Structure formats: structure tokens, C-alpha cells
Amino acid sequence: MKYAVSEARRCVLCGFCEPVCPTLYPGGHRGHGPRGRVQLILLLEGSSSRLVEEALYTCLLCGACTQVCPAKIDVAGAVREARAFLRSKLSS
Amino acid sequence: MRAAERLKDVLGADKVITDPLIVNLYSREPSGLSSRAGAVVFPESSKDVSKIVSFAYKHNIKVFPQGSTTSLSGSSLPAEEGIVISFERMNRILSVSVVDSTVDVEAGVRLGDLNVELARYGYMFPIDPGSVAVATVGGAINGGSGGLRGARYGTMTNWVLGLKVVLPDESGTELRVGCRTTKCRQGYDLVRLIVGSEGTLALVTEATLKITPMPEAVVTALAFFPELEDLYAAYKEIKESRVQPLILEFMDEETARLAKEASAAPVEVEGHMLLAAVDCNREALDRVEAWLSELMRRHNAKRVYTAVKPEESEKLFTLRRSLFPAQVFFGNKRYPGKRLMVILEDIAVPPSRLLEAIKKIREVSEKHGLQVSIGGHVGDGNLHPSVAFPLDDEVMKSKAVAWHEEVAKIAVELGGTVSAEHGIGTLKKGLLEAELEKLGSRKALELMRGIKRVFDPKGILNPGKVV
């Protein structure tokens, strides 16, 4: 999770990524957008939940958010690593 | 939160989230401030909002309305135990009337989405805060937002004709105030009382907004001045030339260089930046372009770029639009891997005092040893000096807080205000008191607190904010 956390830590919560995210509105809450996902990644090592997993697995990894992010955070890359972390927790 | 579980019965389980990890997403804002709520509720209509408020009133639950949480003053965060009402599912544009020059919208519509829709008619909603892409109509109304075009179009106060609101009473009364017409004398002006009240008086669920035609043609000029005095002389001459520019934006040299580094702006930064946009009819484009270019050069601008085509103008805006990215970029570069707090000031001074204000801010920043970015909507005297520092650095934090208070003091001393368009929230309550004190108007605070009690006798609506 080192890469995912270091990417997520760079987020200043401006939300500029949200209008371009295709999953935010259908998802029904902020966790289904990039701003929410990177914040959830920061908490993932401590705890998780069904809603958190849903939020991370509904990301399309399209990278639209990174294009408009002022800090150019690699959300898709961070989400990939977070999914791997969740899988490893399941199998352990 | 047991009450939130009961709210699921009232509203429907799919409209209430109590998972603390998801709720946490509604408990932070870009300034770095954070808090904790018990639940987030997602109304899908005014009726839903009414049910929530009625429930909250009966059970003494505090309610905190949120749009996109891009506030920079703490106004959208839960200040104590309570529930967040997120308007993100109330995002419908209800009707557009070009003849009436109005649009009816729900509170959760994003300003950027609204402008995409209005562009189909050749119209726009002119209030454009830096967060225009993500900010919502409800958030902008509550915050009394302005933006780049403030000198020309003012703030939300000037563009809201009518509101549908829910009052914090036993039945969650739904109320329409204001008119669908520009001229409206409906007794005391409750619309303008609610605009800018930061969600402390009533919950805005729908709004009737004025719209305006997109300009026929626009000349954009971007110039760099080695000397601040020369930039101010050019600015002053534009202001005195019987034109009302759409946009007049400023960045000091250091900030412009950072913005250039953080963006792909196709310009060379050689001094402090002045960006001017003037609208005109198509036939006048060449004349206005030549006038702006000559004026900037005559005041010793080292580089001047002009554009008349929208795609070329957009390139000249890249630098200015990179002000916030530059602040983030710079913070990340200076403090790699650290979580940042950004204090973004929002002062306004009379435009005739701008030069003094900028110089004094630079002096204060130097005194505290802070690397400060200075930019702003100088067309209306609004400046946004900012400083970024690691959230866990207490020394930097105390310096930044002292700086923040001194900058606000400069604004008041020059006849200005501590908050132009971001609101008071929790961050500027002390500064508001100081400003009113300076004016000899402490009584105004009592009036404001009295108004709050009339609207919200139990104090359940966004408590702890403004007054």
C-alpha cells in the first residue's frame, strides 16, 4: 500500500476530479468518486467495510480524474494497489 | 447514532449512511479542517428535506447542509455531533426560460453542469468561483460566492431571484420566497438574507436564478510587469477608461512562476501578471485588442499576449486557472509525502487601495518568514493570498494563523473586509467580530444573532457558524 498511500496523501480535497468521474452519480455517495476513493485508501489499513470495498471495486480505472487533478494524483494506480491489498487480506 | 437508524424508517434506508468510513468523507474540507458527523443523509426532493428537518427538530439533532464541500472557511463541516445533509442527489435542472432570463434548479446542481446546459441557448450563469466545475448552486447560494467575473457581475446576491427553502421548525415548513422577476418588492428581502447565510437560517432546496447572454466577443490580454507600480498604473487606466472589463486578475511574480511550473501555460513569465478580458461586439475586436496591448506596453509591460479567439484566450487563462494547482504543487514539492493545510485568505479592499494592500501583505509574509502566494480578482479588489504547510507542523501553523489575522487586519484598515466571497464559517468568526468592532458596529452582531434565533429557535441548523 506504500504507493497508494503516498498518492492519496497528496490529495487536498478540492474535488476538481468529481465532475469527470463516470461512477460518482450512479454510486450515490462520495465514496464512488476519486476524492472519496483516495480518502478511503488512507483508512484501509485500519479498517474496511462493504461500502468501502464497493467504492473501490466500482472504479473504472479510466484515469479521467488524474487529467484534471491539480496534484496529478494517480487514482487508478492507487485503487489497483488498494484492491490487491484487500485481496491479500481476504486470502490471509 | 441511534437517531440516524430511526431516520432510515422516515426517509428510506437507501438515503441514510451511517458507515463511519463513508461518513468521514463528509467531514473534511480543502482547507484541511476536519470534524466528525454521525450520519449522512441524501434527500432527493424538498419533501425529503422537510421530513429530515422535522425529525431533527423533534429530536434536537443538529443538521449540517453540504453541497460539494469546497468551502475554505469551515462553513460546511459539522461543528458538533449531528447529521450531514448532502444535496448531491438533488441535481436536476428543472427549467430554462430565455424570455424570462431565468433557470430553475435544485440545490445540488453543479455550476459547471449548469453552464454546459445554458450554453445550448447561448446563455450563461456568470458566477464563477475557482471551484466552478465542482461547486453546487446551493453551496454557492449559502456561501454568497463570487468569482473571476465579480467586478462585472457581482456575487450570488445579485443573481438569485427566488428560493425554495425548508425552515428548521416542527413541521419542516417548505417556503417559497422571492419572485421570478428582476423587480420584486416582497416586503423585507428574505432572499438576500438567506443568500450568504451559510446554511444557518434555512435549507435551500431549489432556486430561481437569473441568467445572461454569453458575450458576443471577448478580447483577452495577458501582460507581465517587472514593477508592481507599473502594473497598478495599467490596471488603474483600464478602470478609468469607461469600460467594464469582464475579468481583471492578478498574480505576483513568484506565484505566476509557480503556476507556470505547475501547468503547461504557453507563456513566458517576466514579472507580475495582469490578465484582462474585455467584451465587445465582433466589429470592435481589433480596436479593443490594439487599445489593451498599447496600454499595457505604455506602462512598461515586458511581455504582452493578446487573443480574440476563444481557444486562444483559453490558453492565456491557463496560468490564472493554475493558481490553486500551483499552491498544491508547491506545497507537495516543498513538503513531499505530507498532508497539507492551505490557508487561503479572501480579503477585499477598495480597488484604489490594492497596491498598498499587496505591498503590506508581502511585508507581513516576509516578517513571518512564510512563502506566500498572492493572486486575486483585482477587478473588484478581492485578493486570495495563501500559504500551505504540513498539517502536523505546529510551528508553521502558529506562524500561518498569526499571518492570517494580520492580513485580515490590513484589509479592514484599508477600508475593506475580511471575507469577500468565501464566507465566515468557523475560521473567520473572530475576524468578523474584529471588523465590526473597528466599524463601531458590534450591535450588528446582536442583530445577526437575533435573526438566527427567529429562523432557528432551537439552533439546530449548521450551529457554530458565522455568529
The pLDDT score that the predictor gives to residue B309 is 95
Q: What is the ipTM of this complex?
A: 0.96
Predicted local distance difference test score (pLDDT) of residue B466:
93
Residues 6+ apart with CB under 8 A from A76: A59, A61, A62, A63, A65, A66
Judged by a CB distance cut-off of 8 A, whether residue B353 touches chain A is no
Chain B contact for A3 (CB, 8 A cutoff): no
Q: Could you say which of B17, B113, B329 has the minimum Cβ distance to residue A71?
A: B329
pLDDT of residue B337: 74
* pLDDT tens-digit readout, B435-449: 999 999 999 999 999
* Environment class of B188 (CB within 10 Å of its CB; exposed 0-12, middle 13-18, buried 19+): exposed
CB contact under 8 A, A70 and B324: yes
Q: To the nearest whole number, what is the mean pLDDT of chain B?
A: 93
Cell of B329: 504543487
Q: What is the dihedral of CA B132, B138, B144, B147, to 10 degrees?
A: 10
Taking an 8 Å cut-off on Cβ atoms, the answer to whether A15 and B22 are in contact is no
Distance (Å, rounded) from C-alpha B46 to C-alpha B174? 7
What is the tens place of the pLDDT at every residue in B242-277? 999 999 999 999 999 988 887 778 899 999 999 999
Taking residues B88-117, what's their average pLDDT? 98
Determine, for residues B86 and A29 on separate chains, whether the beta-carbon distance falls below 8 Å: yes
Cα B57 to Cα B203: distance, rounded to the nearest angstrom? 13
Q: Do A71 and B21 touch (CB under 8 A)?
A: no
Which site among A2, A9, A11, A29 would you substitute to test the B interface, given the most B Cβ atoms closer than 10 Å to its Cβ? A29
* Domain at A2-91: CATH code: 1.10.1060.10
Per the CB < 8 A criterion, the answer to whether B122 and B157 are in contact is: no
Backbone angles phi, psi at A73, to 5 degrees: -70, 135
Would you call B25 and A9 a contact, using CB atoms and an 8 Å cutoff? Answer: no
pLDDT of residue B463: 95
Task: Say yes or no: B250 contacts chain A, CB-CB below 8 A.
Answer: no
The residue type at B234: A
Per-residue pLDDT at A55: 97
Sequence-ordered list of residues with C-beta below 8 angstroms from that of B328, at least 6 positions apart, any chain:
A10, A12, A14, A70, A71, B262, B340, B342, B388
Is the pLDDT at B35 greater than 90? The verdict is no
Output b/e per residue, B292-305; b: 16+ Cβ within 10 A.
bbebbeebbbbbbb
Cβ neighbours of residue B49 closer than 8 Å, sequence gap 6 or more: B43, B85, B166, B172, B203, B205
Return the minimum-mean-pLDDT range out of A12-16, A54-58, B85-89. A12-16
Sheet with B347-348: strands ordered across: B303-307, B217-225, B272-280, B247-251, B375-377, B382-383, B347-348
- Per-residue pLDDT, averaged over B24-53, amounts to 91
pLDDT at A22: 97
Q: Which residues have C-beta within 8 Å of that of residue A25, sequence separation ≥ 6?
A: B88, B91
Chain B nearest CA to A69, separation (Å): 8
Q: How far apart are CA B185 and CA B197, in angstroms?
A: 20
pLDDT confidence bin for B330, thresholds 50/70/90: confident
What are the boundaries of each domain within chain A? Answer: 2-91
Does residue B329 surpass a pLDDT of 90?
A: no
Supply the DSSP symbol for B201.
S
Lowest mean pLDDT of A8-17, B58-67, B95-104, B446-455, name the range.
Answer: A8-17
CA distance B188 to B178: 10
pLDDT at B41 exceeding the cut of 70: yes
Q: Across the interface, do A13 and B69 touch by the CB < 8 Å criterion?
A: yes
In this prediction, residue B1 carries a pLDDT of: 60
Show the cell assigned to B375: 493572486
Cβ contact A52–B22 (<8 Å): yes
Residue of B nearest to A46 (CA): B21
Quote the pLDDT of residue B31. Answer: 73
> Binning pLDDT at 50, 70 and 90, where does residue A71 land?
confident
Q: How confident is the model at residue B201 (pLDDT cuts 50, 70, 90)?
A: very high
CA distance B396 to B278: 41
Which residue spans within B68-180 are E strands per DSSP?
Answer: 83-86, 93-97, 102-106, 123-124, 160-166, 174-178
Q: What is the pLDDT of residue A30?
A: 96
Measured CA to CA, the distance from residue B5 to residue B39 in angstroms comes to 9
Q: B417-435: per-residue pLDDT in tens?
A: 999 999 999 889 999 999 9
Contacts of B69 in chain A (CB under 8 A): 13, 15
User: Within B146-303, where are the H helices?
Assistant: 150-153, 190-194, 228-239, 253-262, 285-298
CA distances to A9, B230, B331 from B334, rounded to whole Å, are: 14, 31, 5
Helix (H, G, I), strand (E, B) or coil at B263: coil
Phi/psi at B34 (nearest 5 deg)?
A: -150, 165
- Whether the per-residue pLDDT at A92 is higher than 80: the answer is no
* pTM of this structure: 0.93
